[in-house]
Amino acid sequence: MRRLVVGDIHGAYKALIDVLEKAKFNPSEDLLIGIGDYVDGYSQTYEVIEYLMSLPNFVGVKGNHDSFFLEWANEPDYSPQPIWTTQGGTATLRSYDYKVNIKHRDWLNALPSYIELDNYLFVHGGYIPYIDIKDQDDQDDQDLQWDRDLIKDSVMGYESIDIKYDRVFVGHTALKDVWVGKKVIGIDTGAGWQGKLTVMNIDTLEYWQSETTAILYPNEQGR
């Protein structure tokens, strides 16, 4: 079984199918790990969630945009906030015809904010390395979904010596290309911003990328 991780999809179902075909993804044999932000941006969030739910070997973490969506889905009378609707939320609402899909809502609600697997960590944003990730008093789910310091420090060459994991895979911060630091690996390559969607083999670090979403969705702006 290959173990693959996919970057921030942001409603770009065409990019997801494209990159999985390039990776020769086998749903019955390969494990696919989602790094969060499945929603918001392009017009096919519904198709993205429906597809991921159908996979027998999928696990994933929750991203900050997934939490934006759930604020509305968990409380349908909640008025969507501009911080969400202006950053792709409107496309998501339209994808669902402004109606809550209970199965999709429950599936997203059940996703954790991080996954530990064989001393690899998967988290959407990042975490504070000198604080135990299980310490919800000092870093809660919002911190894990929004943190950018971990990847920024890695790109700047200042990875913390407190990182206990062999590898830490993050999304959230859109990069021009995959970033592979000493331990920190950033795989959000801007699919939500007219860029490419990346899938990486977590053991070999081989990766594949879709066509840009600008090409796949020529009449949409994404986020």
Give per-residue pLDDT as tens, 101-143.
999 999 999 999 999 999 999 999 999 999 999 887 888 999 9
Residue 223 lies in a domain: no
Mean pLDDT of 45-56: 98
Q: Between residues 41 and 135, which one has the greater pLDDT?
A: 41
Mean pLDDT of 165-194: 97
Structure confidence at residue 80 (pLDDT):
86
Q: What's the chain's average pLDDT?
A: 96
User: Alpha carbon of 61 to those of 32, 113, 154, 211: distances in Å?
Assistant: 11, 5, 21, 24
Write phi, then psi, for 81 (nearest 5 degrees): -90, 150
Residue 221 lies in a domain: no
Residue 56 lies in a domain: yes
Q: Is the pLDDT of residue 13 over 90?
A: yes
Mean pLDDT of 189-195: 97
Residue 222 lies in a domain: no
Q: Between residues 137 and 38, which one has the greater pLDDT?
A: 38
| Cα angle 102-78-190, degrees, rounded to a multiple of 5 | 75
What is the β-pairing status of strands 198-201 and 207-209?
antiparallel
Q: Closest Cα partner for 173 from 42, 48, 35, 23? A: 35
CATH of the domain at 143: 3.60.21.10
Structure confidence at residue 89 (pLDDT):
95
Q: What is the DSSP letter of 81?
A: P
Task: Read off the pTM.
Answer: 0.96
Structure confidence at residue 156 (pLDDT):
96
Residue 160 lies in a domain: yes
Structure confidence at residue 135 (pLDDT):
83
How many independent structural domains does the chain possess?
Answer: 1
Residue 45 lies in a domain: yes
Residue 106 lies in a domain: yes
Burial class (CB in 10 A: 0-12, 13-18, 19+), 10: buried
pLDDT level of residue 223 (50, 70, 90 thresholds): confident
Structure confidence at residue 66 (pLDDT):
98
Range of the domain at 35: 3-216
Structure confidence at residue 48 (pLDDT):
98
Q: Is the pLDDT of residue 76 over 80?
A: no
Show Cβ contacts of residue 216 under 8 Å, excluding neighbours closer than 6 positions.
Answer: 12, 14, 15, 18, 210
Q: Is the pLDDT of residue 184 over 90?
A: yes
Structure confidence at residue 33 (pLDDT):
98
User: Alpha carbon of 196 to those of 45, 70, 149: distances in Å?
Assistant: 16, 25, 23
Torsion, Cα of 123, 89, 11, 91 (10° steps)? 180
Interatomic CA distance for residues 222 and 144, integer angstroms? 24
Mean pLDDT of 175-201: 97
Are 199 and 25 a contacting pair, CB within 8 Å?
yes
Mean pLDDT of 52-65: 98
Residue 67 lies in a domain: yes
Structure confidence at residue 138 (pLDDT):
83
